[in-house]
């Protein structure tokens, strides 16, 4: 698999990590992404949270209207990925 890590993506990640407020995040992502892309990322993150809480595919699909293929990719990343979902869920979503 080809790596997407590069000087350009490093700059993107550095830029995102320096956003300080929710408004700055909204402003940046609305300029960089389509609304659909933002909504899709939001659904993936929520699906990861719900999976980590033990919810099953059928419950998640009916709750957040996500495809089973996307949900499967989220599950695979949650269980076998780099740990990004788990870090975000543990740090900010489970309150």
Split at pLDDT 50, 70, 90, the class of 4 is: confident
**Residue 93: is its pLDDT beyond 80?**
no
**Residue 94: is its pLDDT beyond 60?**
no
**Helix ranges, the chain (H):** 7-17, 22-32, 35-52, 57-64, 68-80, 84-88
User: How far is Cα 40 from Cα 61, in angstroms, rounded to an integer?
Assistant: 13
Split at pLDDT 50, 70, 90, the class of 88 is: very high
pLDDT at site 92 = 76
Per-chain mean pLDDT for the chain: 93
CATH T-level topology, domain 7-93: 1.10.1270
Token representation of residue 46? 């929520």
User: What is the pLDDT averaged over residues 51-79?
Assistant: 96
Please report where in the chains the tokens 């490093």 appear, as a residue: 10
Please report where in the chains the tokens 């940046």 appear, as a residue: 28
The pTM of the whole model exceeds 0.75 = yes
Instruction: Give the end-to-end CA distance of the chain in Å, rounded to a whole number.
Output: 36
Token representation of residue 61? 């699909």
């Amino acid at each position: 698999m080809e790596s997407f890590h590069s000087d350009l993506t490093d700059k993107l990640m550095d830029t995102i990590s320096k956003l300080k407020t929710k408004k700055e995040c909204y402003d940046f992502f609305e300029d960089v992404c389509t609304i659909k892309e933002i909504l899709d990322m939001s659904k993936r993150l929520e699906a990861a949270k719900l999976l980590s809480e033990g919810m099953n595919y059928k419950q998640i699909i009916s709750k957040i209207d996500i495809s089973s293929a996307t949900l499967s990719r989220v599950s695979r990343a949650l269980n076998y990925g780099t740990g990004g979902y788990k870090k975000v869920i543990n740090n900010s979503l489970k309150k």
